[in-house]
Every structure is written in C-alpha cells, then in structure tokens.
Structure 1
C-alpha cells in the first residue's frame, strides 16, 4: 500500500491552476516592484547629478530660440541716433516689424525640425575639431627645429636668402 492519498484528476488540475496563478501573480508583483525600484533609483541619480552639475545643456533648437529672442530684444530696445527723434520712432517700428517677421519665419522651422539643429551642432563640432587638427599640424610644420639641417640645403621654406 502506498502512503499517497488518491485524488481525482479534476482536483489535481484545479490545484495546479491555482498554484500557477499564485506563482504568476508573485512574479508580476516582483517585476513591478523591481521596475518601481529601478525608476526610483534612476530619478534619484538624475536629481543628484542635476544638483552636482547644474542645469542640463539645452538642445541646439532651444539654444537657437534663445539666440533669436536675445537678438530680437536687443534690436527692439536699440535707439538709433542716426534717424533723429521723429524719424527714430518710424525706424524703431520698422525694426520691430522685421524682428517679428524673422521670429515668425524661424519658429516653425525650429518646431518642425528640432533634431536637425542637434545634428548641425554636432557637425559643427566635428568641423571645428578637424580645423583645429589641421591648424595644429601646420603650426607643427612651421615651428619644427631647423637647427639640425645644414644651412646651405637650398630647399624648403626655411631656405636662407642672401640679400647682399
């Protein structure tokens, strides 16, 4: 005789289903708790970095907006002594109108293509790095030590020219 209790197949299946549901719920709860803990850790790390480093850098599109606003503010506030008091008011009005038209033209472009400005900024950085590299290489060629060369070599940019 065996020590096992006889159970029906239906009862065993029901037990297996309940056990599987409880296991699935526990896994889902664990996954949710893990995701929540990760999100909290990430938020805390971002806050820590923000306090250490200050405000994160703006996107290139946002920087362009700031530039346009700053230029518009300077131009709108500028008083031109060239036009005199009477003509100055009309000139100032014309400047304000041009500034508003420029802002109206630039803003939709920035709104539609913010990533383009980030790419252009990155490309500009790469061009600047290439330019610096070329200039440093040329400076190196210009400033090489010429004392080890014979004086009458007669070739190259360091050639001695006798003017007597």
Structure 2
C-alpha cells in the first residue's frame, strides 16, 4: 500500500476551527458570567457616532425649518460616512488612543491625589527652585502648580 492510501485526509483548517470554537465558547461563558462588556474603542466610537446622530435627528425644534433639519441630516450622514472608513481601516489605532487616554488620566489622578494629601495635612507645596516664583527658574518654562 502507498502512504497516500494509509493516511486519513488531514483538514488543514482543523486547528484554526478548533481554536475559533474554543474562543467563542470562552466568550460566551464570560458573557454569561459577567454580562456584555464594552467593545473595542472602534466599536465604541461607532456607537457614539450613532447615538449622537440619533439624538440630533430626534431634536424637533419649531425654530428649525424643514430646510434646516434636512441640512442637519445631511451633515450627520456625511460625518458618519467620513468616520466609518477610518474606523474600518484602523480599528487598532482607536484602541491605542484609548490606552493613551487611560494613561493620561492615571497620571492626572496621581498628581491630584498627591496634592489632595498635602492639602488635607496642610503641608506646603514642595519648592524645587525651578518654578519661577522664588527667582530660581531657568528659561521661559514654568512649573504648573495645581494648587
């Protein structure tokens, strides 16, 4: 017998299919346990654009004429058609922007918490001689004090 007749046919995509099934089962288990989670930043942006468009289109102001409402609808559809291709081509960019925003927020919270600790203990703000208020500053830059 030849090797071709002895071996069963191998499905080249079997591993990929099994992984996809396992991943979907895990997602379903997590949805059941924790509820639906927020989507990617791109999906959230898409939801935001849709919600804003829906809210703007639902505003029925008697001061707005039919022409104004038509112009608003056209503006909304143009904005959606401009945003959608960007989201489709670059969904990972929005994830990176969201992560960067979270890092900035964490840094801001850390700075505010440090100042709050000093305020509650009536400690003076630290002076390092470079903030421009005590004559020790160099150049045009100044330290921004959040006090």
- On whether the aligned pair clears a TM of 0.5, the verdict is yes
Q: Partners in 1 of 2:98 and 2:22 — Cα distance?
A: 32
- Corresponding position of 2:41: 60
- Corresponding position of 1:120: 97
Q: Partners in 1 of 2:24 and 2:79 — Cα distance?
A: 39
- Corresponding position of 2:129: none
Q: Partners in 1 of 2:20 and 2:58 — Cα distance?
A: 47
Q: Does 1:138 align with 2:111?
A: no
CA distance 1:135–1:58, change in 2 (3 Å): same
In structure 1, list runs of 5 or more residues that go unmatched.
1-17, 147-155, 158-164
Secondary structure at the aligned position of 2:116 is classed as helix
Structure with bigger gyration radius: 1
| Superposed counterparts of 1:36-51, under 5 Å | 44-51=25-32
- In the alignment, which of 63, 67, 70 is matched to residue 82 of structure 1? 63
How does the TM-score come out when normalised to structure 1?
Answer: 0.59
Q: How many angstroms does 1:145 deviate by?
A: 5.2
Structure with greater helix share of residues: 1
Q: Partners in 2 of 1:44 and 1:96 — Cα distance?
A: 41
Q: Partners in 1 of 2:88 and 2:22 — Cα distance?
A: 33
CA distance 1:44–1:95, change in 2 (3 Å): closer
- Corresponding position of 1:93: 70
Q: How many angstroms does 1:136 deviate by?
A: 0.1
In structure 2, list runs of 5 or more residues that go unmatched.
126-147
Q: Considering only aligned residues, what root-mean-square deviation do their CA atoms show, in Å?
A: 3.1
How does the TM-score come out when normalised to structure 2?
Answer: 0.66
Q: How many angstroms does 1:43 deviate by?
A: 5.0
